[in-house]
Amino acid sequence: MSALKRLDPRTPPSPCGRVGPGRSAFPQNHGFPGQWLLLDRSRERNSGSAAERAARLLRLLRTAARALSARFPGSAVTGTISVADRLSGAPSAQGTSKGSNARVEIEASSAWLGLDPGELRAELEHALAAGPFTRDDREEQGPHRAGLAVFPDSGQGKPLVQFLHCTSLSERRERAFRGVPPAVFFLAPALLKSGLRVAVETLVLEAFVEPALCPKEVRQSNRKKLEDILSRNPFCIATTAMDFYLEELRALSGEIRSRDRRVLLAFGGPLVTLYPEKAIVHLPEGNLFIRGEADVALGEALAAMAGLHARKDLDERALAGLRNMQALFVRTGDTVFASRYDRRLRVEDIGEIFRGEIDLGYLSKEHLRNGFSLHTTRGCPYRCAFCSKVHGSRVRSLSAETIFHVLSSLEKRILQIEQAEGLTESEKRAALQLTFTDDDFLLDPGRAQAVLRGLAERPFFVRTIPAAIPSFLRDRPAGGKELDPILSDSIRAGRAKIGSFEIGTDDFSERELRRLGKGRPRAYGAPEIRAVVEELESLGVRNRHFVILSNPDTRWSDLLEKLVRLEEWSWSYPHFFPDPNPATLAPVGTPLFARLHRQGRTGGLATQRFSVPGFAEFDHQAFNLAPPEEHLFASERLSCMEFFRRLCDLLKTCNRFFIVNEAYLHLLRIRNEAFPDAEEKARVFGQIVRCVHLRRARLEPRLAELPLPAERGAAAVRKRNLVLETVAGMLLVRETLGRLFPEDAFQAEREELGRTVDRQISAWDRSPDPEASLWPRVPLQEALHAIREEAKGWSGREPLAGESPAAIRPFPKSFIQSVREELERKTSASKAREWAALFEPGTSLLLLEVGKDRQDARFIEDAVRIGRFFELARLGGVGASRLSGVLPFLRAEWVLWKSIKDHYLGSSEVRIFLYEGLLRLPFELKRRFQEEFGLSPFCDRDELVASLLSKLLAARGRPHDACIHGTGLFEAAREELGSLVHEELAAFAQWLFAERSG
């Protein structure tokens, strides 16, 4: 399950943590100083959950560290704590202070593990005050690094370090990345030089945390992968820990531990680096935690732990090696060792580990199916409000020479794989594709230019280059910014080897850019963004821009400003694509979280909390999605976050060409609730006016390019629909602006805008030579008339308070009307009225009741109404044979409609696919469907898709009469509808009908 889906306010709490808005800010935890060995010989170690045991021991360690820091200020403390049942009474403490170092020995009863932090600190301080301590002013040699540690040869082959790349079905970018994660690429060289083997495997986490909701083939293949991994008897299984899949990672590590009690589990990454103590508690199966950049440290730690396993205590030989390390936490058996866990490791020269020969033998054919991902930069100078800056602010990069050295080694490995396993031409092309995964590959202009130019001489193709807007610019001598011509020349030189740029633009609104902290240290705004977009357009380079649609301070004027710009640029620049996120994050420790905490606004965060009863200091607020104020954007139909998720899905499709329509329709539904003050309302009005004028300017040349009616195919139909949907939005604004802005202050501009739209429509509607026009008069007139009538219907419409289609509409109006007319002719007007009453809004022949667990379903049929339906239908001239398929069809349609509405349209990937398909349908078909079933492809998109697909799929599964059910509408568009129906949806529908509708 994706993090965004999991944090939906309607989602029930998960077993790992309570889902809901945060109530208070959690202080950031920075680990604890000193070096500690804890021996737990008490019965307490076998009681409670693994998380509770971890919390008890960690509370003891952190309290001791703080008490000793106060007792020996400025000293580096080394301590041993022994906890045993045999001890009774007050704890004892003794130690030696030598120079700037202090050594402490503490013995205590297991009762200490049950004390709260205040009592525990008081006990410790009392023991420290009473204990015998000696002092020696001579300096003691501190820990030193002895160089790269080597794993001792046991004569049984090299031990295996198995890396897991954890991914999710719901994360599109993560799922596509099936190769070697950047962390593994940096960790592997030292591990291999230490005498260890390295292997990498990708696991889909849903297979372990949500098996019932995971497709069968995915569940089976991933569980088989885990079995194969454990059958190889790895010495250590290592993975990166991150907030947004902490719940899933807990489930996976618990399953690994239940199958293998000995394997060491190692964790690093952002969760461990940023929240070190919480990571230890909430990943209780973990044995080894390293904060920061563990390029060399992981190999050293594992070499020191050779011969150990998860259930065996640390011995003196292991401790001798581990004491030379820092930013480290280890627990095996009944021992815990922490060494300077308040620090983070930083590698100053990140290219050092790649000097000399690079062993890429761990790469297989499978790892290179989607090419190779290469991370070349750590650290970031920007000060984005939502960023935790895991790698700090100082930039450290692989040099161009090192990058090409890596690529040469990769090319050799691909040749070895080709010779050993065989590669087809397409597989080899895929293997030679690169994806740079830096935050900003262009931070060092000289390095970037050398790499871009050097690519021309090598066989690699770069699929994606990450960048930031400031890196494309340079300062003008007279002030201001301009594009860097040298960088542009370098991009031009390497153009044939560049697929796209992924740019962390983050917003397209001037005010929002400032709120997100994008002004430091190098500010940019819309003019600078446009300059970069235009330059990449001139070079013919695809550029995808990350955009955050909302933050806690977003208002409607901000949203419309960015949407208008995104719509305009999507039309103007064919190589420009937005890559949206619904809301920003505010992790604990970021500037944004700190600001919300100061303002008392952290209660508005959508978060997932992990806690251990009785240990509040280890409560962890994970993910921390920071949406805008709910009342500004929520309607009866959509919550605030659902609205922004829907906008994201639309922006990922061709709907981005008229994205403002979706926002404007939503704004109509909530009306005045969206405007907290007159100034904001004026800004919103200005953005709407701006949108209409921009559309008018760009639509004239587009209309001249439209295809002839004789042209067939989805591309031609979609091209027409893009224009019609854009025009529909202008007509909707024309008819409804008075509802939103009735004030006299807006009257003059409101009327002028209406005249502008009317003049434009009239110009399109009057073609001097219909036969020469690429869009003939009659189809355009019909289209505009249908759209105008729909818009007029909205002009007097009240807000949709509580409105929701109660059910599908199974019968088209033409069928209902034809039977009614026949009843009037053959029988009486009263029977005709009774027939019409069967189809009034809110009535239905049958309903489908689904249990809360979604496992049980039953039909509730109105026998009297159904009986009267058949009786009147026969009187109206419908034969019994034609009616025989009615109930089976209705049952199938109900099941399909409900599953599509409740499940498939709740999934972004399916929703994106269906919205794209809807744009491929001929306008005439959509208009006919609207006439027959009262569902608009413009205003009721979801209801139309669900109704259309349920009818089509039910029609394919059961014999029926097409005239009764309206399925004859679809015969002329079978090809387009075939492309609309997701294969997975069709298979699911068939299964659900067979299983549920009996």
For residue 28, name the pLDDT band (cuts at 50, 70, 90). Answer: low
Counting residues of the chain whose pLDDT is more than 90, the rounded percentage is 51
More confident: 794 or 389: 389
Mean pLDDT of 331-348: 94
Residues 6+ apart with CB under 8 A from 482: 473, 474, 476, 531
| Residues 96, 98, 101: CA angle, nearest 5 degrees | 95
Q: Nearest Cα to 506, choosing from 642, 590, 386, 630?
A: 386
Tell me, what's the pLDDT at 623? 85
pLDDT at residue 976 greater than cutoff 70: no
Label residue 174 by pLDDT band (50, 70, 90).
very low
Collapsed DSSP state (helix, strand, coil) of residue 659: helix
Using the predicted structure, report yes or no on whether residue 138 has a pLDDT greater than 50: yes
**Residue 230 has what DSSP assignment?**
H
Q: Which of 204, 218, 200, 185 is nearest to 435 (CA)?
A: 185
Each residue's pLDDT tens digit, 569-584: 999 999 999 999 999 9
pLDDT confidence of residue 154 = 59
- Mean pLDDT check: name the lowest of 115-124, 457-466, 758-767: 758-767
Q: What count of other Cβ atoms lies within 10 Å of the Cβ of residue 262?
A: 14
Reply yes or no on whether the pLDDT at 14 is more than 80. Answer: no
User: Please, are residues 567 and 598 in contact by the beta-carbon 8 Å criterion?
Assistant: no
d(CA 701, CA 707): 13
pTM, two decimal places: 0.89
Amino acid making up residue 160: L
Q: Write out pLDDT tens, residues 889-900.
A: 888 888 888 878
Mean pLDDT of 499-527: 92
For the chain, percent of residues with pLDDT exceeding 70: 85
411 touches 455 (CB < 8 A) = no
996 has a pLDDT exceeding 50: no
Give me the sign of the Cα torsion angle 384, 385, 389, 393: positive
Cα atoms found within 13 Å of the Cα of residue 505, Cβ hemisphere only = 31
Type of residue found at 748: A
> What is residue 335's three-state secondary structure?
strand
Compute the distance between CA of residue 21 and CA of residue 18 in angstroms, rounded to an integer: 9
Containing 266, the helix (H) or strand (E) segment is strand 264-268
State mean pLDDT over 754-783: 64
For residue 962, pLDDT beyond 50: yes
- Cβ-contact 277, 588 below 8 angstroms: no
In angstroms, rounded to a whole number, what is the distance separating the alpha carbons of residues 631 and 639? 9
How high is the pLDDT of residue 770?
45
What the block records as the tokens of 264 is 């060491």
Measured torsion, CA atoms of residues 75, 81, 87, 91, in degrees rounded to the nearest 10: 20
Pairing of strands 461-467, 335-339: unpaired
d(CA 554, CA 511): 9
Q: Decide: 807 and 847 in contact? Cβ < 8 Å.
A: yes
HSE-up (13 A, CA, CB side) for residue 590: 27
Q: Which residues pair with 473 in a beta bridge?
A: 483
What is d(CA 326, CA 145) in angstroms, rounded to the nearest whole number?
10
d(CA 337, CA 329): 6
Q: State how far the Cα of 696 lies from the Cα of 779, in Å rounded to an integer.
A: 20
pLDDT in tens, 201-212: 999 888 888 776
pLDDT at 43 over 90: no
Give the Å distances, CA to CA, from 412 to 218, 247, 713, 717. Answer: 33, 40, 45, 48
pLDDT for res 949? 85
Distance from C-alpha of 868 to C-alpha of 862, rounded to nearest angstrom: 10
Least confident span in 462-476, 567-581, 714-728: 714-728
Mean model confidence pLDDT for the chain? 84
The Cα 424–Cα 248 span in angstroms is 36
Q: Please name the helix (run of DSSP H) or strand (run of DSSP E) that holds residue 623, with its range, or none.
A: strand 620-626
Sheet holding 606-610, edge to edge: 18-21, 606-610, 620-626, 584-585
Cα–Cα distances in angstroms (integers) from residue 554 to residues 204, 549, 562, 680, 752, in the given order: 35, 8, 11, 11, 29
